[in-house]
Amino acid sequence: MDKFITVDEAVAKIKSGMTLMIGGFLAAGTPNKIVEALSKTDVKDLTIIANDTAYPDKGIGLLITNKQVKKVIASHIGTNPNTIQQLNDKELIVEFSPQGTLAERIRCGGAGLGGVLTPTGLGTVVEEGKQKLTIDGKEYLLEKPLHADIALIGANISDETGNLIYKGTTQNFNPMMATAADLVIVEAQEVVKTGEIPMENVHTPGIYVNYIVRG
């Protein structure tokens, strides 16, 4: 199966109202070409699951600036003043999830688990509306799994079947997001022949990847 599509073909699969997982940390490891192309469309009312909302003029921040997002589930928003302003103006819903908890919720979504128990967030705004469980005398929050319609992930290297390698901090959230969405689109900076990536070096197996965009 030929998995290669263009940026425009990738963006055409994204519809208003969808939930997207977008990988990366402050736009490093984010599929920036796809996100930039999406920012030029009339797609709106998106729910974005990501570590952060990057910067006003870069990465996920472009979607925030254009007011294409109705809700964000993220660990922080401090690098994007537009996100903060829209939150204060009640134009955007922000659900804060501590970084480790966010990673575990996505992992649970990919693994088919019912959630994760964690003490992180107890006594803070993070616990609002969430179920608490006491186990062996210790209190935990039940953090439910996260799943998306589409995961947009960025990889340094892909082979022709979608086996992926991430370098350095670009690994942030990409591997687990690739397991937790109905459709996975990767933007790869470099594409090599199938077999050129040693099996033990593969971070995301190609079985998770539906489409590849050349970055």
pLDDT in tens, 171-195: 999 999 999 999 999 999 999 999 9
Secondary structure element (H or E) that encloses residue 17, with its range: none
Amino acid 42 reads D
Q: Which domains does the chain have, with CATH numbers?
A: 7-114+145-214 (3.40.1080.10)
Nearest to 29 by CA among 164, 146, 197: 164
State residue 50's pLDDT score.
98
Helical spans, DSSP H, in the chain: 7-12, 32-38, 61-65, 81-88, 99-111, 174-177
Contact between residue 156 and residue 166 where contact means Cβ atoms under 8 Å apart: yes
* Residue 26 pLDDT exceeds 80: yes
Nearest to 31 by CA among 45, 115, 16, 13: 13
pLDDT digits 0-9 by tens, 96-146: 999 999 999 999 999 999 999 999 999 998 899 999 999 999 999 999 999
Nearest to 155 by CA among 201, 110, 117, 86: 201
Q: Which two tokens stand for residue 172?
A: 């942030």
Question: Residue 171 CA to chain centroid, in angstroms?
Answer: 11
Confidence of residue 81 (pLDDT cuts 50, 70, 90): very high
pTM to 2 decimals?
A: 0.95
Question: Residue 95 CA to chain centroid, in angstroms?
Answer: 14
* Residue 1 pLDDT exceeds 80: no
